[in-house]
Chain A
Amino acid sequence: MKIIVLLKRVPDSETKILINQEGTGIREDGVKFIINTYDEYAIEEGLLMKEKAGGDSKVTVVCMGSDEATEVIRTALAMGADDAVHIADATLSNPGPFTTASIMAKVIGDEGFDIIFCGKQAIDDDMAQVHCILAEMLDIPQVSVATAFELSDDAAKATVSRRIEGGDEKVETSLPVIVSCDKGLNDPRYASLPGIMKAKKKEIKKKSLADLGFSEVPGGGRSRVLKWLPLPKGGECRIVEAEETPDAVRELVRLLREEAKVI
């Protein structure tokens, strides 16, 4: 069985994000980058499927991102993935989901596959679109927000649970399929130390757009990001203090009425 896992390098959710001056992206200096959190579930599920299917099953990681993304790719290899394709091209800056999907579709088409696992969304731009567009382009079914995945014994079908408002939805799908993964699907393993050692010898195929046969950045999306803006600054916080609570409440009501004019 051939399993593809899509991977994205994103800023750590614990770091504070600052928008660059031109409004075209974020300031990367001093920002720590990590594997997109939901992609970790995708890697783990890919590895579990490989272990279950056995034989000459293989997990290939596909990642689009700058040269620095090799670190997250290497981490996925250290967790147990077999090899990787890294699409890095200087002309790609903040590609939209349509562009990303177009390029990924080419890579995945070349690689061949039975199942594609990816995160339910990237925690940086929260688009959650790449896997949907990819499913269309590859003309395969997609199941999103998976919290349980079970392959049939003949490996021709899969049953997937989706966590939806108020309960679970159980879906049956044929293979090949693309599945976007949510928290709860599994418990991602750590990269073990022997795994980290072995990952050094695993192959990362680096591809530029030209290598993939594109003469320019593929466009075609119907939307365009105009500008990135910082969050509006919150107002000054004022603490109303008084000896007795009722006095503080009286003062608060006065401020809300006379200064804030909201009541």
Chain B
Amino acid sequence: MCMKLTEEERMIQKTARDFARKEIAAVVEESNRNGVFQEEVYRKLSELGFMGMTMPEEYGGAGFGNLCLVLALEEISRVCPSTAIAVSVHNSLANHIIYKWGSDGLKKKYLPRMTSGETIGVYALTEPNAGSDVAAIRMSVVRDGDEYILNGSKILISTGDKAGVILVVACTDPEKRTRGLTAFAVEPDFSGFSIGKVEHKMGMKASTTVELVFEDCRVPASNVIGKESQGMQIALGSLDGGRIGIAAQSLGIAQTALDEAVLFARERRQFGKRIVDFQATRWKIADMATNLDAARLLTYRAARLRDAGGPCSKEVSMAKLFASRIANEAVYDAMQIHGGVGYTEEFKIERFFRDARVLEIYEGTSEIQRIVISKKVLEEYEQMYPA
């Protein structure tokens, strides 16, 4: 598979890079220190078409594929990983789910204002008792005429307080477990909806993470996404896109870790030498660079496979597992190279160190990725060498 980028892909990369280095860099320190979601940055990103990147032109999108989204997320994450969260969730989950599963009515109602960035879409799956185990979702739903009544809460929802539309997976039939889940498009001004606890996190501070509370929240039946009981299928079918987004975010973080480590090590002198001239430093740089290239190849492959339309869950999980791991190793080593000052807020690496940790947790923990990968590998062996 050829990994050389096309002219068009490089142009998107350039726009994202120039934008991130100028517009995002100008506000990144302040917004991460104060935990502020950068509305102005999203407005400008929207104007440039980033909130509808992968949607067809008929719905106001730019019509690009997953690899282009990866390139954009990577460049944004090099400057501000937390800004990439809403861009990733909005494109790879919210837009994608409504486009792929929504009725014509839902598509017409939401997609144009989502691709224009006027409405931010978020994705709410996690509950207090259902994280990795999606089948444990218990948010209750009762049908009442041409409405559904939702009760329960979703936790740890990225950008939940800024959303114009929330994709919620809830339980229409607890008896049927995974076959009893249904997806809904909920607007924040539907009666019975409110924002609950706002989390104080270790990193990713320019992205808000909140609890969403549904108390007899009334949702019109026309806002069911797909059909009733298709919730699990929708949730699982959209995982791949979201995971590629996190792999891309990991690449951006690992790239900045490497950049900062090398630039610092060339300047810093100890024992009469630049620390970049110690073999201990060089080996770290070699490992970081090699891992980063490997992660990039895995991620671009996953995105190209998804663009080609075939099955790619194994390759996507490999990319997410590996990229998130090596990003954490990279920020660890980069901080080590910085020595004591790297542990202070004066240096970028301190923020990236904190931001990196969640890469191995959200959009499926590393353990869950290993479950997916091993299951697929064993299935392949089962086919080749039936027991």
Measuring CB to CB, which residues of chain A are less than 8 angstroms from any residue of chain B? 70-71, 74-75, 78, 190-197, 199-200
Contacts and interface: CB of A to CB of B under 8 A. Distances in A.
Given A70-B7, A75-B14, A78-B11, A192 B57 contact: no
A193 B15 contact: yes
Contacts of A71: 7, 10-11
A74 B19 contact: no
Given A75-B14, A197-B62, A197-B64, A192 B47 contact: yes
B380 interface: no
B215 interface: no
Nearest to A193: B49
A199 B62 CA distance: 12
Interface of B: 7-8, 10-12, 14-15, 18-19, 47-50, 52-53, 57, 62-64
A74 B12 CA distance: 12
Contacts of A196: 8, 11-12, 15, 62
Nearest to A71: B7
26 contacts: A70-B7, A71-B7, A71-B10, A71-B11, A74-B7, A75-B11, A78-B11, A190-B15, A190-B18, A190-B19, A190-B48, A191-B14, A191-B15, A192-B47, A192-B48, A193-B12, A193-B15, A193-B49, A193-B50, A193-B53, A193-B64, A194-B62, A196-B8, A196-B15, A196-B62, A197-B62
Contacts of B19: 190
A200 B8 contact: yes
Contacts of A78: 11
Nearest to B47: A192
Contacts of A199: 11
B47 to A, nearest CB: 7
B166 to A, nearest CB: 25
Secondary structure call for the B interface:
helix
Contacts of A193: 12, 15, 48-50, 52-53, 62, 64
A192 B72 CA distance: 12
B11 A191 contact: yes
Contacts of B57: 194, 197
Contacts of B64: 193, 197
A200 B11 CA distance: 11
A194 B14 contact: no
Q: Which of B11, B47, B53, B63 has the most CB of A within 10 A?
A: B11
Please name the 9 residue pairs, one residue from A and one from B, whose CB atoms are nearest each other, closest first. Answer: A193-B49, A193-B62, A192-B48, A190-B15, A194-B49, A196-B11, A191-B15, A192-B49, A71-B7
Contacts of B15: 190-193, 196
A199 B15 CA distance: 14
Nearest to B72: A193
Nearest to A200: B8
Contacts of B12: 193, 196
B45 to A, nearest CB: 10
A199 B138 CA distance: 49
A130 to B, nearest CB: 25
Nearest to B60: A194
